[in-house]
């Protein structure tokens, strides 16, 4: 059976929608409330659409053989899943699914269990699900198919732009939070080396503040403001220690550089807006299994704000 471009695109959107129903339904049952899963805001998960097209294309020559449908579909979908997962992590620095805890996984992007699932899905789709869908799509008039595809593509393009923008904002936020964390840690280490004033009191204060912050996880905005206050308090404390050291060694260029760094970090802290944190939290809510090797602490920090 040969399909034209409009029919292929309709198949893509149909199976992307089915994938969203499966993912969101499964997550909703687990969490006992409605959950919108997927990278996009709308009710489609494109990797299922691309996976379905890959299965259809790869199994066209072997539709009469169930074992070959299983094998070809498993290989094609597994390759797509690996390339997509690798590419998204390279672009956004976040892994939106992770099989690292599963046996026989490859870099966390794919695993044997998921690949076998793709194989069974390929047989189910080709032999059962696709038969009535194919009939409906082939019966549509060409003009109807074109209008449906154009409308769906326009809506998806807008959604992709919005979602990619959210993901880029999340990546930038993680990088900024990581820089802030490393800056404060480096400042602490440098002050411990150059200062005659011990920092045990500051460390105790920081531990108490972090414990107090964890105990006040009620609402996202409240937690966000608490985090900012803690960061500002940490930086203010560093500034106070620098002032003490400046009095002991007023001509030190090293201390002047550290003071300039504290001022710059305060400016960066003030530039981060609530809206950016909220958009990042929304994206993580839709993709709860997302992980990042480069920004694990920052992801955990945002998830703490969401609790």
Q: 3-state class of 64 per DSSP?
A: coil
Share the mean pLDDT of the chain: 80
Closest to 39 in 3D by CA, of 176, 159, 175, 186: 159
Q: How far is it, in rounded angstroms, from Cα 240 to Cα 230?
A: 15
- Predicted confidence (pLDDT) per residue in 284-298, tens digit: 777 777 777 777 777
* 217 and 223 Cβ atoms separated by less than 8 Å: yes
pLDDT tens by residue, 75-84: 988 998 899 8
Q: What pLDDT is attached to residue 269?
A: 61
Note the pLDDT tens digit of each residue in 132-175. Answer: 999 999 999 999 999 999 999 999 999 989 888 887 877 777 77
Query: Which segment of 58-72, 193-207, 224-238 scores lowest on mean pLDDT?
Result: 193-207
Please give the pLDDT value at position 231. Answer: 73
pLDDT level of residue 36 (50, 70, 90 thresholds): confident
Give the residue-averaged pLDDT of 82-94: 84
User: Could you report the per-residue pLDDT of 241-265, keeping only the tens digit for each?
Assistant: 777 777 767 667 776 777 777 777 7
């Amino acid at each position: 059976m040969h399909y034209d471009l409009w029919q292929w695109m309709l198949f893509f959107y149909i199976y992307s929608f089915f994938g969203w129903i499966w993912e969101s339904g499964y997550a909703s049952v687990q969490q006992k409330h409605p959950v919108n899963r997927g990278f996009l805001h709308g009710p489609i998960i494109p990797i299922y659409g691309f996976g379905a097209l890959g299965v259809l294309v790869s199994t066209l020559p072997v539709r009469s053989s169930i074992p070959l449908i299983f094998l070809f579909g498993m290989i094609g979908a597994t390759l797509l899943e690996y390339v997509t997962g690798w590419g998204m992590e390279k672009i956004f620095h976040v892994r939106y699914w992770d099989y690292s805890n599963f046996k026989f996984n490859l870099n966390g992007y794919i695993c044997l269990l998921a690949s076998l699932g793709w194989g069974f899905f390929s047989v189910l789709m080709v032999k059962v699900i696709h038969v009535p869908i194919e009939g409906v799509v082939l019966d549509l008039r060409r003009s109807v198919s074109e209008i449906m595809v154009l409308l769906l593509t326009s809506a998806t393009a807008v959604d992709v732009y919005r979602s990619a923008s959210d993901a880029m904002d999340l990546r930038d936020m993680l990088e900024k939070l990581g820089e802030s964390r490393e800056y404060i840690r480096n400042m602490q280490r440098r002050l411990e080396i150059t200062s005659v004033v011990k920092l045990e009191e500051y460390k105790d204060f920081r531990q108490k503040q972090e414990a107090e912050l964890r105990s006040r996880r009620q609402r996202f905005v409240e937690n966000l403001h608490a985090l900012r206050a803690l960061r500002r308090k940490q930086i203010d404390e560093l500034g106070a220690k620098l002032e003490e050291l400046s009095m002991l060694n007023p001509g030190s260029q090293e201390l002047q550089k550290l003071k300039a760094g504290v001022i710059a970090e305060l400016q960066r802290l003030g530039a981060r807006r609530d809206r950016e944190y909220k958009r990042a939290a929304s994206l993580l809510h839709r993709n709860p299994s997302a992980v990042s090797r480069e920004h694990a602490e920052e992801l955990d920090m945002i998830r703490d704000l969401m609790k």
